[in-house]
């Protein structure tokens, strides 16, 4: 009796230690990222980093302005969301509400395969297929634009949005739907007046998580957006090259002298990115909790 109890507890504590380790790792990442990022402000005032309009890290008068990179990331992410939310939510509604179960069983694994494609493969596809297409369609000097990045990121965010929205829609209690149908609503009225509103917080969480995926993506955007560190105009800037925060870190980390202002600036950019994705995840979590309560 004692022995069995002992084993049980041991397993429990080992599992606790393992899961606690993730928290410790996250905490250490924060610590090192912020520590190196904050060192930038010994050389550069905080305001000129946060509101600087120019990113010239290697010129004689180096300037580390966050704005071109921040707006680059936001523009590409916003475009990706505009593209992927309608498609993703529509697919989720179709899969969970309308599709014949056989068709749904066929579609679902394909959506999941989309999530498993490595980002460099998406980037390569974008570079070879989408970039020339965008250039010819809009008659531009180059097809490496924010729009190209948005479309690629939209495709990459689709699996996240589809599978989480689909979960949300299928977990709407059937009593709600039956009630609506019993009152004489058509199938379509039931979907857009009852089912989707009831699943709305789940769908919002899906959108937030898709956004987190898009803003943190590096390889694909680096390959297709041209990486020009200029503040994009709005809305015309969607057809200009942009540079995101992630691409900047990946491009410049290679040979930056350790301990230089440039090195710390890249960490500071990383810290900003971390804070943004952290907030998005928190928000998604908060929305999800609310949604769980609603279903109960």
Partner 1 sequence: MANIKTYAIFTVLVLGLVFLGIGCTGNDAGEAGAPSEEAPEAEAQEIFIKGSDTVLPIAQYEAEQFMIENPEKSVAVTGGGSGVGIAAMIDGEVDIATASREMKDSEFENAEANGITPIEHVVAFDGISVVVNPENPVSELTFDQMRGIYNGSISNWQEVGGEEMEIAVMSRDSSSGTYEYFKEAVLLEDEYRPDALTQPTTGAIVSEVSLNPNAIGYIGVAYLDDSVKAVSVDAGEGFTYPSPENIISGDYPLSRPLYFYTDGEPGGLTKEFIDFVMSEEGQNLILEVGYFPVQ
Select from 67, 114, 127, 185 the one that contacts partner 1 (CB under 8 A). 127
Q: Is 16 in the site for partner 1 (CB under 8 A)?
A: yes
Burial of 265 (0-12, 13-18, 19+ CB in 10 A): buried
Indicate which single residue of 31, 35, 45, 56 sits in contact with partner 1 (rule: CB under 8 A).
Answer: 56
Using DSSP, state whether 231 is helix, strand or coil.
coil
Residue 59 interacts with partner 1 (CB under 8 A)?
yes
Question: Which among 2-10, 36-44, 209-217, 277-285 is the span making contact with partner 1, rule CB under 8 A?
Answer: 2-10
- Six-digit token pair at 4? 């069995």
Q: Which is nearer to partner 1, 72 or 79 (CB)?
A: 72
CA–CA separation, 277 and 46 (whole Å): 21
Residue with Cβ nearer partner 1 (216 or 241)? 241
Select 168 or 223, whichever has its Cβ closest to partner 1. 223
Of the residues 144, 150, 163, 180, which one makes contact with partner 1 according to CB under 8 A: 144
Task: Pick from 147, 222, 245, 261 the residue near partner 1 by CB under 8 A.
Answer: 222
Name the H helices within the chain.
2-38, 46-51, 67-93, 101-116, 119-125, 131-138, 146-170, 174-182, 187-190, 196-198, 200-216, 219-224, 245-252, 261-295
| 54 counts as binding partner 1 under rule CB under 8 A | yes
Tell me the residue length of the chain: 296
Bin 140: left if φ > 0, else alpha if -120 < ψ < 50, else beta.
beta
**Under the criterion CB under 8 A, does residue 118 sit at the interface with partner 1?**
no
Which residues have C-beta within 8 Å of that of residue 141, sequence separation ≥ 6?
135
Residue 232 interacts with partner 1 (CB under 8 A)? Answer: no
Closest CB 37 distance from partner 1, rounded Å: 19
For residue 147, which of 41, 88, 225 has the smallest C-alpha distance? 225
Residue number with CB closer to partner 1 (67 or 230): 230
Taking CB under 8 A as the binding criterion, the range among 30-38, 86-94, 200-208, 241-249 that sits at the site for partner 1 is: 241-249
Instruction: Sort 234 into a burial class: Cβ within 10 Å, 0-12 / 13-18 / 19+.
Output: exposed
One residue of 230, 281, 283, 295 binding partner 1 per CB under 8 A: 230
Interaction between residue 256 and partner 1 (CB under 8 A): yes
Q: Please state, in angstroms and rounded to a whole number, the distance separating the CA atoms of residues 164 and 281.
A: 14
User: Bridge partners of 56?
Assistant: 63
Per-residue interface string for the shown chain with partner 1, residues 77-116, x marking contact by CB under 8 A: ----------------------------------------
Closest to partner 1 by CB, 13 or 234: 13
SS3 56: strand
Spatial CA neighbour of 89 closest among 165, 154, 157, 159: 165
Binding mask 147-186 toward partner 1 (x if CB under 8 A, else -) reads ----------------------------------------
Binding region for partner 1 (CB under 8 A)? 6, 9-10, 13-14, 16-17, 21, 54, 56-59, 127-128, 131-132, 135, 141-144, 222-223, 226-230, 240-241, 243, 247, 250-258
């Amino acid at each position: 009796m004692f022995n069995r109890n002992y084993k049980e507890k041991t397993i429990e504590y080992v599992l606790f230690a393992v899961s606690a380790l993730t928290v410790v790792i996250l905490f250490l990442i924060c610590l090192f990222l912020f520590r190196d990022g904050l060192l930038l402000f010994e050389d550069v005032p905080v305001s000129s980093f946060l509101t600087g309009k120019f990113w010239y890290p290697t010129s004689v008068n180096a300037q580390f302005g966050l704005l071109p990179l921040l707006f680059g990331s936001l523009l590409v992410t916003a475009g990706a969301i505009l593209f992927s939310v309608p498609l993703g939510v529509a697919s989720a509604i179709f899969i969970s509400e309308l599709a014949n179960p056989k068709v749904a069983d066929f579609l679902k694994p394909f959506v999941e395969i989309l999530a498993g494609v490595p980002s460099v493969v998406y980037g390569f596809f974008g570079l070879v297929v989408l970039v020339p297409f965008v250039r010819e369609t809009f008659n531009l000097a180059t097809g490496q634009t924010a729009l190209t990045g948005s479309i690629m990121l939209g495709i990459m965010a689709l699996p996240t949005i589809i599978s989480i929205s689909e979960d949300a829609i299928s977990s709407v209690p059937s009593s709600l739907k039956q009630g609506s149908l019993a009152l004489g609503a058509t199938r379509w009225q039931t979907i857009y007046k009852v089912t989707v509103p009831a699943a709305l917080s789940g769908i919002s969480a899906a959108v937030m998580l898709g956004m987190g995926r898009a803003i943190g993506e590096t390889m694909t955007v680096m390959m297709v957006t041209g990486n020009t560190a200029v503040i994009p105009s709005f809305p015309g800037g969607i057809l200009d090259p942009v540079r995101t925060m992630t691409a900047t870190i990946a491009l410049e980390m290679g040979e930056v002298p350790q301990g230089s202002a440039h090195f710390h600036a890249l960490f500071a950019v990383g810290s900003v990115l971390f804070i943004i994705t952290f907030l998005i995840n928190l928000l998604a979590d908060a929305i999800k909790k609310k949604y769980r309560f609603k279903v109960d």
